Structure 1
Amino acid sequence: MKLKSVLLAALLATTALPALAQTPLPEDPLDDRSAKRIERMEKVVRELRSIVFQGRDTGKPVVVQPAETDAQIASLGERLGDLEQTLQKLNGQNEALTHDLDQARRASGDQKARADALEARLAALEKKLADMDAAAQAQAQQVAAAPAAPAPAADPAAAFKSARQLLLDGDYANAETAFSAYVTAYPDNARTPEARYWLGETLFVREAYADAAGAYIGAIRGWPQTSWAPDATLKLSRALVALKKPTDACKTLDELGRRYPKAPAAIVSRAASTRVAAKCA
């Protein structure tokens, strides 16, 4: 029955085609879509005619399948496979790009941290240089503003008197310079030990204890019997206490009592307090 139905449909289609062919076409030509539909219909008709003749010649059942279905399915399968491969490749590339991007971000973070550290160090160095430059300029201004110390006079007595007057005026900086110049200019003069004593006084007042101790030692070398010698010995012991040399300070105080037993009461009293500070036995 199915075969008869198919044959009947094929015959009807073949008889209908001439009628369609004899029908006059409208004046306007068919558009592309209509032309394609007619082409598909004609193809179906040809396939049906082939089926009819095949059944007639062989006498065997004919299996009818939709035209081009298998081919379309196969084509779609191939395209789907291609798309899957392309998608896999794209996924792989995407993963590689993501990995590279992560590494680039980490590297960028490390570089930024290093740049920040270097910038901080540079800023610290620039500040240090600026502070040193400012300190140097301030010192230069102080030196330029300070009055120049008088040069030692050609007469030793006049030079000593001038330096002593600076000390009495409280100009310790220039007094130090003047007494130092006197000691250098007149190393063998009779008043040079006393000049060393007064040089020690200018340094002691300014808390330059190491330099003051050196000046006092030069002044009392030989233990001179002068009015200022006991005080120079006492100031030497006090400078040594300030320099955290209590043993040397105690030895100096012992020499003070032995070398100058008739020292003024004020010096003896200060010597006792210095012994307490030095923790002498």
Structure 2
Amino acid sequence: MPVAAPVAAQTPIDESLSKRDARRLDDMDKAIKEMRAIVFKGRDTGKPVVVEMVDTDARLAEFANRLGDLEQSLTKINASLETTSHELDQARRANQALSAQVKTLTDRLAAIEQKQAAAETAAASPPAPVEPPSPAAAQASATEAFGHARQLMLSGDYEGAEGAFRAYVQTYPDAPRTPEARYWWGKTLAVKGGHADAATAYIGAIRGWPQTAWAPDAVVELARELVALKKPADACQTLAEVPKHYPKAPAAVKARAATLAAQAKCG
């Protein structure tokens, strides 16, 4: 029986290959697998198989271009977002300012409505009774008003005196000096040429034939206004009352009465 030659000990191939050779073997193994897949695909389908070479650099360049486009798009989107954010911030501030203005106008309108409501309530409610002034206060006010009107007349301000005496007569119709105020009121009206109003004022002054120093002159002045109003008969009748009610009238008043009687052709 022949003796078999001793088998030399086998050393693993991987241990004797360098790392570079190992990578090459892996690449070859992958290529063989891809070729098998292509062959089997052509056998199964019966169609020619087109083997496309993989261009890694071209793909990388294409990916780089796409990435650049994406970066540009993102840059534009970010710029648009910043612009939109700025516009939204401005709109928010404008809205806050508008809200403040609306609140101010609303408050003003509410205040006006409150005032109007208060005025309507006050108008609807009956006025509070006004307490009449005390007799002493009324007398003091009347005296001051009469003195003021008389001072205006003495200073030559007949326009102001006419208004002051008219106000006195209207405000104090029952005051003790109201007849005298009517007498002076007639004087101011006569100066302005208001003969009818002056005659009315004199009539109010001498009603009841008061025994005062100014009364005889008031009667003569009434006759004068009647003559100016072309009422001689009424003037003569008025002058006839002077010696009856005022026999002690001053000589100057009697002389003026005689002159008016002649002017009116009294019998």
TM-score by length of 1: 0.45
TM-score by length of 2: 0.48
